[in-house]
């Protein structure tokens, strides 16, 4: 693998025509002697879906936990629509919806009862009709107990709860984990349909998910920002950054000029060889 010699630009210029929803200002979270998040600064815009992408331990969940107020930063702060998370947590939470990595559902409540329960807590003055306005494809399952729902339907219900009550900031921690490919696509559709007027932040391990869903992608590594921009910008900037040469002794020889995140099957005499 041959790396480019010149340093690559890693940040696409910020959009100027969008409302700033969430802004991370140099946040750091230290556990013992290790920084799980290290001086991370990043902006999220209204009407955009921004993905936090990174390998296990990159700091995605820690960032999301700080964002949702689960625990404080060691240093730095976050502004949500201009409100400081250190001092205005209560106001911020009223406009925030969260879907955590693991479903937090009650097995003996139906999908409808979940929406009503969370709705009455979050927006007690809203009518039932207002609570049901989000397009989440749950209507035909409204009388089913959460405990009897498939994994995909449980995730959809968790996402519906996050969207409920007109949440302006929606945080989705690995929304499609453990979901089959078909349900994944319908979850992507639900998220895309509901992005208008909201700042949506999601974390994922999946390159395809980030590419399909995101207006902007932020790659995290060791708790810091590696690069950030639209999928198109990142592909244009980094997509031709590497040449991979594979040599199979005496039998065949191939050169690949591959896109950054495309895993291509390697046409080789050995049919089991894949890149
Ligand atoms: N409560 C904790 N105590 C100590 N270390 C922690 C704690 N939570 C996270 N870490 C460490 O911080 C780093 C970042 O973890 P984090 O869970 O934020 O990463 P992640 O990108 O969300 O990973 P994954 O994709 O596996 O969920 C890891 O090295 C992890 O071991």
71 CB less than 6 Å from ligand 1? no
β-bridge partners, 42: 24
Q: 3-class DSSP state for residue 88? A: coil
57 CA: nearest ligand 1 atom? 19
- Using the mean position of ligand 1's atoms as its centre, give its distance from the Cα of residue 36 in Å: 6
Q: Which residues are within 8 A (CB) of 154 and not within 5 positions of it... i.e. 6 or more apart?
A: 103, 105, 146
DSSP 170: E
Closest residue by Cα to atom 24, ligand 1, is: 56
* Residue whose CA lies nearest to ligand 1 atom number 12: 36
Please give the chain's pLDDT, 275 residues, in tens: 344 444 444 888 888 899 999 999 999 999 988 899 999 999 999 999 999 998 888 999 999 999 998 889 999 999 999 999 999 988 998 899 999 988 989 999 999 999 989 988 888 787 776 666 666 777 788 889 999 998 999 999 999 999 988 899 999 999 998 888 888 999 999 999 999 999 999 999 888 899 999 999 999 999 999 999 999 988 888 776 666 788 877 755 555 454 445 544 444 344 444 44
Query: What CA–CA distances, in Å, run from 124 to 98, 109, 116, 127, 131?
Result: 18, 19, 10, 8, 10
Q: Report the DSSP pairing between strands 216-221 and 224-229.
A: antiparallel
Is residue 69 within 6 Å of ligand 1 at its C-beta?
Answer: no
Rounded Cα distance, 117 and 270, in Å:
57
Interface confidence (ipTM) of the complex? 0.94
Q: Which of 37, 40, 54, 58 to mutate to test the pocket of ligand 1 (most atoms within 8 A of CB)?
A: 58
Place of tokens 């009650």: 106
The stretches of the chain forming alpha helices (DSSP H) are 60-67, 89-94, 111-122, 128-131, 151-163, 181-193, 207-213, 231-238
Could you identify the atom of ligand 1 that is nearest to the CA of residue 59? 18
Find out whether the beta carbon of 158 lies less than 6 Å from any atom of ligand 1: no
Q: What are 211's two structure tokens?
A: 């590419």
Beta strands in the chain (DSSP E): 20-31, 34-45, 49-53, 75-80, 83-84, 96-99, 169-173, 199-204, 216-221, 224-229, 244-248, 252-256
Q: Is the CB of 204 under 6 A from ligand 1?
A: no
Distance between CA atoms of residues 57 and 223, nearest Å: 8
Establish whether residue 224 lines the binding site of ligand 1, counting it when its CB lies within 6 angstroms of any ligand atom: no
1 burial (CB, 10 Å; 0-12 / 13-18 / 19+) is: exposed
Write out the two tokens for 164: 């409920």
Locate the domains of the chain by residue range. Answer: 20-267
Indicate the pairing of strand 199-204 with strand 169-173: parallel
Angle between helices 181-193 and 151-163 (to 10 degrees): 10
Residue labelled with tokens 């999601």: 202
Architecture of domain 20-267: 3-Layer(aba) Sandwich (3.40)
How far, in whole angstroms, is CA 180 from its chain's centroid?
A: 18
Please give the model's pTM, rounded to 2 decimal places: 0.81
Using the atom order of ligand 1, give the atom closest to the CA of residue 101: 27
The tokens for 274 are: 């894949």
Q: How far is the CA of 88 from the centre of ligand 1 (A)?
A: 26
């Amino acid at each position: 693998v041959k790396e480019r010699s010149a340093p690559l630009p890693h940040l696409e210029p910020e959009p100027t025509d969008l409302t700033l929803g969430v802004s991370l200002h140099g946040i750091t979270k230290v556990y013992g002697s290790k920084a799980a998040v290290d001086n991370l600064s990043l902006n999220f815009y209204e009407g955009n879906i921004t993905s936090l992408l990174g390998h296990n331990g990159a700091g995605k969940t820690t960032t999301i936990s700080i964002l949702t107020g689960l625990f404080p930063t060691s240093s730095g702060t976050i502004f949500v629509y201009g409100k400081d998370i250190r001092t205005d947590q209560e106001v911020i939470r009223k406009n925030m919806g969260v879907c955590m990595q693991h479903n937090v559902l009650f097995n003996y409540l139906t999908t409808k009862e979940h929406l009503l329960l969370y709705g009455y807590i979050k927006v007690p003055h809203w009518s039932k009709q207002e609570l049901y306005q989000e397009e989440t494809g749950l209507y035909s399952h409204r009388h089913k107990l959460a405990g009897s729902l498939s994994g995909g339907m449980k995730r959809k219900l968790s996402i519906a709860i996050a969207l409920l009550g007109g949440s302006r900031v929606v945080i989705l921690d690995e929304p499609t984990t453990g979901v089959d490919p078909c349900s994944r696509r319908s979850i992507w559709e639900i998220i895309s349909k509901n992005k208008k007027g909201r700042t949506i932040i999601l974390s994922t391990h999946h390159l395809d998910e980030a590419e399909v869903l995101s207006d902007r992608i932020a790659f995290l590594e060791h708790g810091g920002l590696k690069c950030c921009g639209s999928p198109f910008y990142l592909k244009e900037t980094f997509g031709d950054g590497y040449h991979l040469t594979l040599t199979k002794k005496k039998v065949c020889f191939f050169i690949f000029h591959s896109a950054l995140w495309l895993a291509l099957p390697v046409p080789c005499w050995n049919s089991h060889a894949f890149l």
